[in-house]
C-alpha cells in the first residue's frame, strides 16, 4: 500500500511536517507494511516558510530588516541549499500584524524590508525565490522593496521620492538601470491568489486600502497616485501591465514583481505543489492523505487540501483521497465534490478551543483518528 501524505498545518497546534509524520507513524502502527511518503504543504501564505524549509531540508535564517513603519525589526527567511532557493513571506517584513491598529495607514508603510530580505538571501547564494505576499500592511506599489534592490524613484528636483506609500504622489522619474546586478541572475515565483488589477474600483487602494487603515479620502487620493505612477512607468519604460490580474496584490507588490523583476505570479497552492515535486509520488499512490486545522467552504474553493486532491485525481484516477482536520463546518461537505472522498475531524469530546489546540492533545487526537480509519481500511 503506497500512501502519500501532504497535510497543511493545524495552525497553533501542529506544523505541516509534524502532522504528516504523526500520520505516517500512526499508519505504520496499524499497517506495518505500508509505504508512506510525507510532503510539506502550504498555500503560499502563513506557514509557507516553515513548511517548505523543513520539508525540503533547508534551514531558517534569522535576521533584522526595516519593518513596515521604517524601524528595524527581527525577521527571517528559509534557505534550501540543494536548489539555491530562498523561501520568504512578505508578512515577515511588511505584514499588517507588525503594525499596531492605531498606527495603520498605507501612506506611512513600506515594503523596503522585503527587498532587504531578498538581497540578504541572494548574498547567501540563493538565485531562486519563492515568495508569499499575503497579509501586507502596505500600498506602496512595491517601491520600498524596489528601492532596497537598487531602483531609483525621483522627485522633479532629482531627489529621492521616499520609500513609503505617500511617496507615490511625488515620483516623476523612474530609473530601473540601477537594479542590483545580482537580481538579474535571480528568478522569482510569487504566490498570489488575488486577481485584482493595480488601480480602479477593484484596485489595491479601493479593495484592500480600508483594512490597512485608509480612509475614503486616502483611498481616492492613493488610487489616483497609483494610476499616475503606472502611467509614468508606461511612458518612461514602455511597460503597461497595470491592469493584469494580480498586479493589485499586496498593495501593488504584484505589479512591482511583474514589472521590474524576472517574476511570475502563481496560485499559491499550485506553486507549492510544484515546488515540493509531489506529482510523481501521486501517480504511484493508492491513498493520498491531506488536511488542515479547520475545514469549511473555503477549503472547497481551492485551499491546500483540495489543491492536493485535484492534483492527485489528475495524476491517478484510481487513487483514494482522505483528509483529517481539527474541526469541520457544516459546509465542509462541499470538499467531497472537489476530490476528497472522505474527511475526518479529529476531536473526540466536547472541549474548549484552547484545550483542543494544545499540541499534545492535537497529536493524540490525530494519531487515534488515523488508527481508527486504517483499522477499517486494513
The verdict on 179 and 324 lying in the same domain is no
The verdict on 80 and 193 lying in the same domain is yes
Q: Express as a percent the part of the chain with pLDDT over 90.
A: 93
The verdict on 34 and 52 lying in the same domain is no
* Last residue in a domain, options 269, 301, 332: 269
Q: Find the mean pLDDT for residues 354-370.
A: 95
The verdict on 264 and 289 lying in the same domain is no
Q: Find the mean pLDDT for residues 83-93.
A: 97
Residue 277's pLDDT band (cuts 50, 70, 90):
very high
The verdict on 341 and 318 lying in the same domain is yes
Residue 62 is predicted with a pLDDT of 98
140 and 134 Cβ atoms separated by less than 8 Å: no
Residue 285's pLDDT band (cuts 50, 70, 90):
very high
pLDDT tens across 50-81, in order?
A: 999 999 999 999 999 999 999 999 999 999 99
Q: Give the three cell numbers for residue 248.
A: 493589485
pLDDT at 179 over 90: yes
Q: Give the three cell numbers for residue 177.
A: 538601470
The verdict on 254 and 373 lying in the same domain is no
The verdict on 95 and 237 lying in the same domain is yes
Residue 45 is predicted with a pLDDT of 87
* Last residue in a domain, options 236, 269, 302: 269
Q: Express as a percent the part of the chain with pLDDT over 70.
A: 100
Structural domain of 168 = 48-269
Q: Find the mean pLDDT for residues 312-319.
A: 94
Residue 301's pLDDT band (cuts 50, 70, 90):
confident
The strand pair at 85-89 and 342-345 is best described as unpaired
pLDDT at 343 over 90: yes
What sections of the chain are H helices per DSSP? Answer: 16-30, 48-55, 91-94, 112-123, 143-148, 204-208, 216-237, 249-260, 268-275, 279-283, 297-300, 304-315, 353-356, 359-377
Alpha carbons 155 and 151: distance in angstroms, whole number: 14
- Sign of the Cα pseudo-torsion (366, 372, 373, 378, in order): positive
Mean of per-residue pLDDT scores for the chain: 96
The verdict on 247 and 304 lying in the same domain is no
The domain that contains 90 carries what CATH number?
3.90.1510.10
pLDDT tens across 135-165, in order?
A: 999 999 999 999 999 999 999 999 999 999 9
The verdict on 55 and 147 lying in the same domain is yes
The verdict on 247 and 124 lying in the same domain is yes
Q: What is the tally of structural domains in the chain?
A: 2
pLDDT at 298 over 90: no
pTM of the model: 0.90
Q: Give the three cell numbers for residue 150.
A: 537598487
* Last residue in a domain, options 208, 240, 269: 269
The verdict on 134 and 260 lying in the same domain is yes
pLDDT at 12 over 90: no
The verdict on 223 and 317 lying in the same domain is no
Amino acid at each position: 500500500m503506497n500512501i502519500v501524505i501532504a497535510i497543511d498545518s493545524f495552525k497553533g497546534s501542529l506544523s505541516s511536517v509534524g502532522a504528516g509524520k504523526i500520520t505516517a507513524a500512526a499508519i505504520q502502527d496499524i499497517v506495518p507494511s505500508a509505504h508512506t511518503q510525507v510532503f510539506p504543504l502550504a498555500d503560499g501564505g502563513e506557514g509557507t516558510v516553515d513548511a517548505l524549509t523543513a520539508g525540503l531540508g533547508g534551514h531558517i535564517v534569522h535576521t533584522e530588516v526595516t519593518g513596515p513603519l521604517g524601524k528595524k525589526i527581527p525577521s527571517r527567511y528559509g534557505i534550501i541549499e540543494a536548489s539555491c532557493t530562498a523561501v520568504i513571506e512578505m508578512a515577515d517584513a511588511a505584514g499588517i500584524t507588525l503594525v499596531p491598529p492605531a498606527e495603520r495607514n498605507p501612506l506611512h508603510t513600506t515594503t523596503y524590508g522585503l527587498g532587504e530580505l531578498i538581497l540578504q538571501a541572494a548574498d547567501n547564494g540563493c538565485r531562486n525565490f519563492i515568495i508569499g505576499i499575503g497579509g501586507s500592511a502596505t500600498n506602496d506599489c512595491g517601491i520600498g522593496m524596489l528601492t532596497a534592490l537598487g531602483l531609483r524613484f525621483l522627485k522633479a528636483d532629482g531627489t529621492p521620492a521616499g520609500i513609503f506609500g505617500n511617496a507615490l504622489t511625488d515620483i516623476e522619474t523612474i530609473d530601473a538601470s540601477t537594479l542590483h546586478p545580482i537580481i538579474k541572475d535571480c528568478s522569482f515565483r510569487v504566490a498570489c491568489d488575488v486577481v485584482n488589477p493595480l488601480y480602479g474600483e477593484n484596485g489595491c487602494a479601493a479593495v484592500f486600502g480600508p483594512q490597512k487603515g485608509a480612509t475614503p479620502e486616502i483611498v481616492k487620493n492613493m488610487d489616483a497616485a497609483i494610476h499616475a505612477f503606472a502611467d509614468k512607468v508606461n511612458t518612461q519604460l514602455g511597460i503597461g501591465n497595470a491592469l493584469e490580474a494580480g498586479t493589485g496584490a499586496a498593495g501593488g507588490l504584484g505589479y512591482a514583481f511583474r514589472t521590474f523583476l524576472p517574476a511570475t505570479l502563481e496560485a499559491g497552492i499550485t506553486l507549492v505543489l510544484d515546488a515540493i515535486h509531489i506529482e510523481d509520488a501521486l501517480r504511484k499512490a493508492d491513498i493520498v492523505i491531506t488536511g488542515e486545522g479547520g475545514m469549511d467552504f473555503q477549503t472547497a474553493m481551492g485551499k491546500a487540501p483540495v489543491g492536493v486532491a485535484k492534483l492527485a485525481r489528475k495524476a491517478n484516477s484510481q487513487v483514494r483521497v482522505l483528509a483529517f482536520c481539527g474541526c469541520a463546518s457544516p459546509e465542509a461537505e462541499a470538499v467531497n465534490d472537489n476530490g476528497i472522498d472522505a474527511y475526518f475531524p479529529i476531536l473526540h469530546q466536547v472541549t474548549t478551543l484552547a484545550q483542543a489546540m494544545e499540541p499534545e492533545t492535537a497529536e493524540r487526537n490525530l494519531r487515534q483518528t488515523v488508527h481508527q480509519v486504517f483499522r477499517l481500511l486494513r
